[in-house]
Amino acid sequence: MKKITYQEIINSVNELQSMLGYPSEMVKNKSISYIDHHCKDFIEKSPFLVLSTSDNEGYCDVSPRGDLPGFVHVLNDTQLVIPERPGNKRMDSMRNILSNPRVGLIFFIPGLGETLRVNGQAKLIKDPEILESMAVKGKTPLVGIAVDVDECFIHCAKAFIRSGLWDPSTWQDEGLLPSVATIISDHVNLPNTTAKAVEERLKESYKDRLY
């Protein structure tokens, strides 16, 4: 496949702002440097977030984290902890944090278009007194992602309005959705790794290995 060469590339912030304009005074001033009672309430009601990381060479990763509302513990007005539940053991986010502690979080509340963005610096912790308080069904996480908060602010709902993400009438019929098992089977491309085998493995994982 021939790679496309772009002819008109934006190379400066000045050029970008001359095209798209400047933020309003409200937008410029909505960021705070701590977790106030509004942010704490938002985090406690959120069952899902995405975690953005990069290594020290700039290679990026974005990873979902989710559990019942309140699964992220706010320790005080500048610190929060995300429990690391069992996953696929790639550990992309955690490897990146060991290389570069800066992270970005977006918290979601189902049905609410606005999101909460939190930026800060992370470290991996194994403090028993903290992790034991995050146990579910008797399973204590082995690791927590602790974030020292630098910035919090609300992000507007335009992306959700445009996408109709929370509107069930925009959702595709189940029969039209991509077959995840088929995709994984084709990408893995290993002997005996059929779509059916992958589907059974996924079902077993979702049933027995959430915690």
Q: Distance between CA atoms of 137 and 144, rounded to whole angstroms? A: 17
Per-residue pLDDT tens listing for the chain (211 residues): 899 999 999 999 999 999 999 999 999 999 999 999 999 999 999 999 999 999 999 999 999 999 999 999 999 999 999 999 999 999 999 999 999 999 999 999 999 999 999 999 999 999 999 999 999 999 999 999 999 999 999 999 999 999 999 999 999 999 999 999 999 999 999 998 999 999 999 999 999 999 9
Domains, in order of start, for the chain: 27-163 (2.30.110.10), 172-208 (no CATH)
Distances (CA, A) of 69 to 38, 44, 53, 66, 101: 15, 6, 23, 9, 25
Continuous segment of H or E residues that includes residue 108? strand 102-108
pTM given for the model: 0.95
Rounded Cα distance, 63 and 113, in Å = 20
The residue to which tokens 């959702």 are assigned? 171
Structure tokens that stand for 74 in this block: 């706010």
